[in-house]
């Protein structure tokens, strides 16, 4: 059975990185954007990373500009923004596409393992759903990820355990990570 360790991605310097380098770690894989309303998620993500990396957590950050052009910078601009504004220390990878014909195979795999089940209830979530549907219409059945800051939780064996939409409270994400870390 395929798992995340079967994938190779590009780091922010365009060098190949085999995700097998993370074997035995709990991973939180996130597609991000510097100009998104969910960009403040970097704060709790960095806090979680600082608190839990010694217990085996790695957060893998994949910038993406496919959602309303909210990550327009190049790799160095995005990295500098995240480092200066949020103090991020977790690994940031090359900017990728997560939807359509050019979608990174890792994200197509993640989304096939844990498909979108909705943003949740409430007016804000309904509004985001409508906006995401309009944005993702051009990707058809290859609209794997609905918006920035979708998070995938990966077990130490490389299997996809959970998917968290950007509307999921970050405390809920942290609890799931802590439970998986044991």
- Per-residue pLDDT of the chain in tens (182 residues, 90 and over written 9): 799 999 999 999 999 999 999 999 999 999 999 988 888 999 999 999 999 999 999 999 999 999 988 888 888 888 888 888 888 999 999 999 999 999 999 999 999 999 998 888 887 778 888 878 887 888 888 888 999 999 999 999 999 999 999 999 999 999 999 999 99
**CATH number reported for the structural domain that contains residue 61 in this entry:** 3.40.30.10
Nearest CA to 99 among 68, 67, 77?
A: 67
Q: What is the pTM (predicted TM-score) of this model? A: 0.93
Residue 156 corresponds to which tokens in the numbers above?
Answer: 């130490």
Helix (H) or strand (E) holding 135: helix 123-136
Flag whether 155 is in a domain. Answer: no
Flag whether 28 is in a domain. Answer: yes
Flag whether 88 is in a domain. Answer: yes
Active-site residue list: 36
């Amino acid at each position: 059975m395929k798992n995340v360790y079967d994938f190779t991605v590009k780091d922010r310097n365009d060098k190949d990185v085999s995700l097998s380098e993370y074997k035995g770690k709990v991973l939180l894989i996130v597609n991000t954007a510097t100009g998104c309303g969910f960009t403040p998620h970097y704060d709790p993500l960095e806090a979680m990373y600082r608190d839990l990396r010694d217990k085996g957590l790695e957060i893998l950050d994949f910038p993406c500009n496919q959602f309303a052009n909210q990550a327009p910078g190049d790799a160095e601009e995005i990295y500098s923004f995240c480092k200066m504004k949020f103090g991020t220390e977790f690994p940031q990878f090359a900017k990728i596409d997560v939807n359509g014909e050019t979608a990174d195979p890792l994200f197509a795999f993640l989304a096939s393992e844990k498909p979108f089940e909705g943003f949740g209830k409430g007016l804000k979530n309904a509004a985001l759903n409508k906006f995401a549907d309009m944005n993702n219409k051009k990707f058809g059945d290859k609209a794997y990820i609905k918006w920035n800051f979708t998070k995938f939780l990966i077990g130490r064996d490389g299997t996809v355990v959970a998917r968290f939409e950007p509307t999921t409270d970050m405390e809920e994400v942290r609890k799931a990570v802590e439970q998986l870390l044991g």
